[in-house]
Amino acid sequence: MPTRRRPIRGEDLGGDRVELEVSVARKLYTCPGCGGQIPIGAEHVFVRRTPVDGSSRYHQHWHTDCARPIAREMDLAGRRRN
């Protein structure tokens, strides 16, 4: 998982470019993983995704625990840390 000082960048198994970084919620977010809310002030994971199919880059806010499968998939796909 990313830390405050160390984001994770890599690809998922489908070839999308994915970046995970630790963030602090400045407003209320809905986690795409579980549908639950991320309260203001909560540390969570900011996920930026660049689809391999050429569609637009987008980002989402995930609970840290909900984002773990994304990091695992990036591990499987061959993650680079930077």
Which residues are CB-contacts of 45 (< 8 A; sequence separation ≥ 6)?
Answer: 1, 2, 20, 21, 22, 23, 61, 62, 63, 64, 67, 70
> CA nearest 14: which of 47, 52, 49, 50?
52
Q: Which residue lies nearer to Zn ion by CB, 15 or 69? A: 69
The reply on whether position 28 binds Zn ion by CB under 5 A is no
The reply on whether position 31 binds Zn ion by CB under 5 A is yes
Binding mask 58-77 for Zn ion (x = CB under 5 A): -----x--x-----------
Size of the site for Zn ion (CB under 5 A): 5
Tell me which residues touch Zn ion (CB under 5 A): 31, 33-34, 63, 66
